[in-house]
Amino acid sequence: MSEPAVPSGSAGFSHVNQEMAVTSPDSARQTVAIRVRLDIAYDGTDFTGWARQPGLRTVQGVLEETLSKVLREPIQLTVAGRTDSGVHAEGQVAHFDTAAQFDGPKLVHRLARFLPKDVRVTGIRVAPPEFDARFSAIRRHYAYRLTTAPYGADPLRARSVVPCRAVDLDAMREASRRLLGLHDFAAFCRRREGATTVRELQRFDWVASADHVVDDESGGPDGHSAPDRGQLLTAYVSADAFCWSMVRSLVGAVLAVGEGRRTPDWVAGLLAERERSSSVTVAPAHGLSLIAVDYPADADLADRNAQTRETRTLLPTDPGCCGT
């Protein structure tokens, strides 16, 4: 899995007061606004998705409220991928503009004191003014995790792993390969008025590993053989962007092949459909996590922004990728 490119720049600003991240509201207003990149991780279980919604607990709402209090100015975030209710993130990226002066590493530590345990800002850095978390992105990477353990998901990771039956992994890999490339994924996307469903699926493969939370070198109790723990199956899915519910629909369709209910040819045939297929099951949200977002080099940010905006002007698109 490739790592997201990191815009160059200073790690932070001069730190004046170690307790408060900002020097003062008056001095902040006199400072030229700069663009700030946030790297974010969250457990989506108890959030109603990323996007701010009145009266609901959302990742954007919690982060903006906390940042606004700490920086003592209104903060509005732009995000790389708008995840749905229950979807997690290990490598979400957002940006905002501020006139506040702060020290990046110390602000990360300070936010950890005020944010709830299910969301963390893992990095803060100054970004070039051309950096846009949404429009600068060239690739988004997701992981979907399943377990074939006969007893279901281990309690320590039941919030992020979905149990399934034993599957034919080779058939699933074949079905996944048939979907790679530039296609109209309408059969896999929930319809949004005026939204294009043409996407370039760049990676869709499966990795199997032993489903162990801890290594068990001593066998089972009293020296007997260890219980059948099944396999942890991780789907890695990458594209330039995703339409609403696309990743979970891709996983749901391919899982049907693995369980013997469908064939790889059936999956490939879905690409010919021009509206959402009722035969495609959307996999549960909690198995999905946004793990990384790729960006071009700083010198190419402006061109990437223009290219993305032009594409989304010529082809109607959904507002902000992804509803995955």
How many residues are listed for the chain in this entry? 324
How far is it, in rounded angstroms, from Cα 106 to Cα 104? Answer: 6
The amino acid sitting at 143 is A
How far is it, in rounded angstroms, from Cα 92 to Cα 307? Answer: 22
Q: Which of 136, 134, 93 is nearest to 297 (CA)?
A: 136
Query: Rounded to whole angstroms, what are the CA distances from 178 to 199, 245, 268?
Result: 14, 19, 6
Q: Is 151 annotated as a binding residue?
A: no
For β-strands 288-294 and 139-147, DSSP reports them as antiparallel
How far is it, in rounded angstroms, from Cα 23 to Cα 10? Answer: 18
How far is it, in rounded angstroms, from Cα 287 to Cα 259? Answer: 17
3-state SS assignment for residue 256: helix
Token pair in block for residue 159? 């919030």
How far is it, in rounded angstroms, from Cα 89 to Cα 44? Answer: 7
Question: CA angle, 277 as apex, 272 and 281 as ends, to 5°?
Answer: 125
Q: Does the annotation count 84 as an active-site position? A: yes
Instruction: Pick the catalytic residue from 84, 103, 154, 294.
Output: 84
Terminal-residue alpha carbon distance, the chain: 19
Positive or negative torsion for Cα 191, 303, 74, 57: positive
Half-sphere exposure of 280 (CA within 13 A, CB side): 27
Known binding site: residues?
Answer: 142
Residues acting as catalytic residues = 84
Q: Extract the annotated binding site for substrate.
A: 142
